[in-house]
Structure 1
Amino acid sequence: MESNTTDNGSKAVELADFDQLRSDFTRFMMSYKFGIDELMTKINILKEEFTHIHRYSPIEHVGSRLKTPESIIVKARRKNCPLTLDDIRTNIVDIAGIRITCSFISDTYRIADMIGSQTDVRVLEVKDYIAAPKPNGYKSLHLIVEIPVFMSDRIQPVPVELQIRTIAMDFWASLEHKIFYKYHGTIPAPLLAELTEAADSANRLDVTMERLHDEVAEIKGGKSSDAIHLDSMPPLSLPRELLIAMLDGSKPL
């Protein structure tokens, strides 16, 4: 009888430990999900502000991803990282990821500066693969930023990987990624050479399109991109009479 009681007690302890581990891991993953949500909110605010106020947004598209538990374990083993939540949190900084696609090269740096300058965002690392591309031609601006997530019982700093690139860079990277996995990481030399050449072509396209954009902006001359045009307001429009009064300054609101 005593043996059965001991066995039942051990099982109860094991179940309690398992429940605690499951709860801890769930909160661990949720913190990264919330980190993405926090940063996505900031990015979408910037996008909307530019759309409605400046009538041009440097942000074309935003996407996010959260590593699966399986991929986290694979990466931890590859880095010889102990499989504890604290060690994983310290050694793996790309569990949460956001990708921002811009129109022009200058926009990538502009967005990075705007996000990094916010008071509750801390830039931990910058890898500029635009200025110094990878050998295969890969280009992108990578940042690891840390953002506070307000949980029910604590403030959890969460690292998020930001990848900021142009449309041309993103198209090339998506194709390279598919080819990389199709050949299990060993891309035939002729195909690799063509990929590198395609990266050069994408870069020339980026440079040309930005030059054309700058020339058009110059031609527009004195027209301010920040001006409010009464006949073509963005979706969040105000009554015409109110706008006239605000701009004129001669009528009480």
Structure 2
Amino acid sequence: MMNPLQVDQFKKFKNEITRFMMVYKFALDAMETKIEILQEEFHFLHDYNPIENTKSRLKSPESIIKKLYRKGFDISFSSIKNNIKDIAGLRITCSFISDIYRISEMLRNQHDLKILEVKDYIKTPKPNGYQSLHMLIEIPIFMSDRQELVCIEVQIRTIAMDFWASLEHKIFYKYNQAVPPRLLQELKEAADSASLLDQQMERLHREIEEIKEEQMEDAEEELKRIIINDQQFSLPAALLALIDTGSVKVDVEGEVKVELPPAP
């Protein structure tokens, strides 16, 4: 049983570690809010949302201490903050590879975020086939008595990349990281297959976007023509120019009025 002094010391330590971890939790909350805003913006203003899903996690104090021991760092709050950069993690899942770079560019453009490091495992996959874009991002958090600059590791990947990484992690956990060479080879082949699928879906996505743009151009051209008794007429270019300037108006009764510019 602890004596009163030990109890008091334990309470102080518990409060300090709770306060330390809460800062990272608040940082994740702030980052998730930013992502939610982007999702809502795309939902209301665009016909396509590049963000499929988000998932956040905090490292446990036990995992943090183990990583400090493994890397040979001192055990202190300052040591943790300076040396462990993935205490707070956010994973963003997308449909297409181009979405990954689109989202990363959006995060770069937010003036209150500071990009500390980027590791592109898509352009340069890991030897085991792992692909993802990793960003270390510093975000300011305003506490009651101070401002904290908190580091978050953001991973952005496609659905196929995430599926492969999740299964690879489960297999390694099951084998306690002693995976037979034959399975390692199959995992690498599966990663290559996932990469080929991503590339194929990216190509299809790009071609469909091109078809949509062509259809929009055709629709615009159709608006510039009228058909009477199977005879087709193009609207006068001068009238189209007036429409572009807002000089042509249609009132509630359907009457067309043209406001001609003043004579020179």
Amino acid at match of 2:181: A
Could you say which residue in structure 1 is the equivalent of 2:245? none
Summarize the alignment of residues 1-253 of structure 1 with structure 2, pairs less than 5 Å apart: 13-222=5-214, 223=216
Superposed CA offset, 1:101-122 (max 9, x none): 0010111111111012201100
Amino acid at match of 1:198: A
Report 1 or 2 for greater relative contact order, CA contacts < 8 Å, sequence distance ≥ 6.
1
Q: 1:14 deviation in Å?
A: 4.2
Higher strand share: 2
Secondary structure in structure 2 of the residue aligned to 1:186: coil
Superposed CA offset, 1:153-190 (max 9, x none): 10111100001000000000001000111111121111
Q: Tell me the distance in 1 between the aligned counterparts of 2:30 and 2:73.
A: 27
The change in CA–CA distance for 1:96 and 1:249 in structure 2 (over 3 A counts) is farther
Q: 1:55 deviation in Å?
A: 1.7
Q: Which runs of 5+ in 1 are unaligned?
A: 1-10, 225-247
Could you say which residue in structure 1 is the equivalent of 2:223? none
Q: 1:134 deviation in Å?
A: 0.4
Amino acid at match of 2:142: F
Q: 1:20 deviation in Å?
A: 2.3
Please give the root-mean-square deviation of Cα atoms over the aligned residues, in Å. Answer: 1.8
Bigger Rg, which one:
2
Question: Identity of paired residues, percent?
Answer: 58
Superposed CA offset, 1:39-85 (max 9, x none): 00001100111111112110000000011111111111111121111
Q: TM-score, normalised by structure 2?
A: 0.79
Q: Tell me the distance in 1 between the aligned counterparts of 2:6 and 2:180.
A: 51
Q: Tell me the distance in 2 between the aligned counterparts of 1:110 and 1:78.
A: 36
Q: 1:12 deviation in Å?
A: 5.2
Q: 1:16 deviation in Å?
A: 3.7
Q: TM-score, normalised by structure 1?
A: 0.82
The change in CA–CA distance for 1:154 and 1:196 in structure 2 (over 3 A counts) is same
Q: Tell me the distance in 2 between the aligned counterparts of 1:165 and 1:145.
A: 16
Superposed CA offset, 1:185-234 (max 9, x none): 1211111111111111101100001101111111112539xxxxxxxxxx
The change in CA–CA distance for 1:249 and 1:198 in structure 2 (over 3 A counts) is farther
Amino acid at match of 1:116: R
Q: 1:19 deviation in Å?
A: 2.6
Q: Tell me the distance in 2 between the aligned counterparts of 1:94 and 1:250.
A: 60
Q: Tell me the distance in 2 between the aligned counterparts of 1:165 and 1:35.
A: 21
Q: Tell me the distance in 2 between the aligned counterparts of 1:16 and 1:177.
A: 41
The change in CA–CA distance for 1:70 and 1:250 in structure 2 (over 3 A counts) is farther
